[in-house]
Amino acid sequence: MPSFYGDRFISRRYALSRASRFKAESKPDQNTDPMVMKEMPGYWRTHQYSAVLQDLFGLVPARDRILSFQDSNSSQECFRLAMRRPLDWIVQSTYQNQQKLDWSCHPRTKPTGFIEAVHDLPNIKSHYHKIIDWSSAGQIAAIFNKKLVIWTPTSDVMVGMRARDTTSIAFNPSGDRLAIAIFMMNRPWLDIMEVSESPLVRHGALKMLDPLDQPISYLTWDGSGQYVVCGFGNGQISIVHVRPIFSKVPERVDSKYYAHQSTIIAIKFSCGSRYMATADDLGQLYIWYWNGGHLAPITRWNSSMCAFFDWHPWREDEIVIADSEPITIALYHVQSCRVVSYYAREERDCIATTLSFNKISGELVVCFSFTDASKPPEILVLASMDRVVDVMSNHEDIITYLLWSPDGQQLASIGYDETLTIWNFFGKSLSNKKRKAQSEPTSTGGGSGSDSTGSSRSGGPATSSSKTRIQCNRNKEATYRDLASSFLFKAMR
């Protein structure tokens, strides 16, 4: 039985039986594909109608009710059990037995996410692989055509600096340092920049890395914040020990590894930094043991096309790996070296472009792009290989990046349409006071300082280390597309 109905009508869905689950030892059901959604306008509209109406009419949720959806099955079951309370008052989860799910997960009982803001990202460097990052301090950094911009989504204040030759960026776990990869004079350089909410940004000493003629294609920090792992265009992995703040000891390269044969496009650590996974653009994925700046190989995963992966947020030895085309999503257990479960799409009508776990609920967010150009990309939220929790759609082109806010409540999706959409993933509205503060402009003297090209987003021209702190209405007015008048939030300015 469902937990409850409300907000918007979604037809009943049942999880497949355990016998028909997509597992390594059983073939997928040829007649059932749980990720092929109904093509019905408004079927998955992300609006909270009951919340809007209750707020409009001043109703008390515990006493007053507007919408009550019950079908014949639930009515008969209620009558049989002599239940006097409506089903929507039952807060007990439908899937109490977590073993029924393919991975450890606390799925939402109903899809409640909605759009909070749509940001414009003109001339963002989409041909690189780590061009945007969201720090634990709440700041977002992105590489554009000639500039690096750092801003906070809830503020109009940003820092912009010249970054013509920047190829990759990554915040450290505490969010106060930003690693910047630069390919200048045909040489790869690493800069560790100290960032904060103050206007001052301090650069470290540039360090040249080997190999000299290969750019750094991907950067990431380990969980301790002491090491930066650099992936190169030729497949080399270099581990750089980063000196503490205000230390006079220079950064040093601890070790180098040469497993990959092509450009590294992703490097990620497990939740406890016990394991590390790396992938290249030829579909080769390696899983390593991590031990204080040193790697030991565990296994290799061969993909027919570019592989995407993410580690489970609280299970150290579980990783989800997806082949882009044909779409195959596999849950791999590192210690046992076996595939626990998988999903294989029979039709080649779409490709997977990226995926990421939510750190709170454990739900898996997967982005699909369709071969039919008239059909927009979709973001599917999975609680299991055979259970779709939600479907979100707002982009007009391929979605390439998924970022989570520090508290895990917001999801940022970035696509080739040069837009960044921030989703309120759990549907928890901000307080009226905070919402009002966000919607009111804070610029003084009419100084948005932006022109039609958006060049003022990143400050005026200066040297490679120049920077400026500006206030502007950096976000375009939201193109509401499929949003109705019940949209709870205005576009951020």
Residue 351 has pLDDT above 80, yes or no: yes
Condensed to tens digits (0 to 9), the pLDDT of residues 375-428 reads 899 999 999 988 888 898 889 899 999 999 999 999 999 999 999 999 999 987
pLDDT band, very low/low/confident/very high, at 373 (cuts 50, 70, 90): confident
- Return the pLDDT at 461: 35
Residue 93 has pLDDT above 50, yes or no: no
Top-ranked range on mean pLDDT: pick from 82-86, 111-115, 216-220: 216-220
Region 278-292 average pLDDT: 93
| Per-residue DSSP letter, 144 | B
Region 133-149 average pLDDT: 92
pLDDT band, very low/low/confident/very high, at 85 (cuts 50, 70, 90): very low
Q: Which residue has the higher pLDDT, 111 or 13?
A: 111
pTM: 0.70
**% of the chain at pLDDT higher than 70:** 66
pLDDT band, very low/low/confident/very high, at 280 (cuts 50, 70, 90): very high
The 3-state DSSP class for residue 458 equals helix
What does each C-alpha distance from 231 to 103, 143, 172 come to in angstroms? 29, 18, 16
Q: Residue 268: which of 218, 211, 325 has the closest Cα? A: 218
Half-sphere exposure of 207 (CA within 13 A, CB side): 23
- Return the pLDDT at 139: 92
Condensed to tens digits (0 to 9), the pLDDT of residues 441-470 reads 433 333 333 343 333 333 333 334 444 433
Residues 6+ apart with CB under 8 A from 60: none
Domain annotation covers residue 248? yes
Q: Which residue has the higher pLDDT, 364 or 35?
A: 364
* Distance (Å, whole) CA 83 – CA 455: 63
Residues 6+ apart with CB under 8 A from 445: none
Domain annotation covers residue 251? yes
Q: Which residues of 336-371 are buried (b: 16+ CB within 10 A; e: fewer)?
A: eeeebbbbebeeeebbbbbbbbbbbbbbbbbbbbee
Six-digit token string for 17: 């039986």
How many domains are contained in the chain?
Answer: 1
pLDDT band, very low/low/confident/very high, at 431 (cuts 50, 70, 90): very low
- Domain assignment of residue 225, given as a range: 114-429
Domain annotation covers residue 43? no
CATH number of the structural domain spanning residue 348: 2.130.10.10
- Return the pLDDT at 254: 79
Domain annotation covers residue 36? no
Is residue 467 within 8 Å of 201, Cβ to Cβ?
yes
Residue 213 has pLDDT above 70, yes or no: yes
pLDDT band, very low/low/confident/very high, at 4 (cuts 50, 70, 90): very low
| Range with lowest mean pLDDT among 4-13, 122-131, 312-321, 442-451 | 442-451
Residue 482 has pLDDT above 60, yes or no: no
Residue 276 has pLDDT above 80, yes or no: yes
Residue 156 has pLDDT above 70, yes or no: yes
Rounded to the nearest integer, the mean pLDDT of the chain is 75
Domain annotation covers residue 125? yes
Question: Residues 334, 335, 339, 341: is their CA dihedral positive or negative?
Answer: negative
Bond before 28 cis per omega within 30 degrees: no
* Distance (Å, whole) CA 278 – CA 102: 23
* Distance (Å, whole) CA 106 – CA 388: 13
* Distance (Å, whole) CA 276 – CA 309: 11
Residue 471 has pLDDT above 50, yes or no: no
The 3-state DSSP class for residue 333 equals strand
- Return the pLDDT at 245: 72
Residue 98 has pLDDT above 50, yes or no: no
Top-ranked range on mean pLDDT: pick from 346-355, 457-466, 480-489: 346-355
Region 71-94 average pLDDT: 50
**% of the chain at pLDDT higher than 90:** 39
The radius of gyration of the chain's CA atoms, rounded to the nearest angstrom, is 24
Question: Residues 197, 203, 208, 214: is their CA dihedral positive or negative?
Answer: positive
Q: Which residue has the higher pLDDT, 436 or 303?
A: 303
| Per-residue DSSP letter, 75 | H
| Per-residue DSSP letter, 243 | P
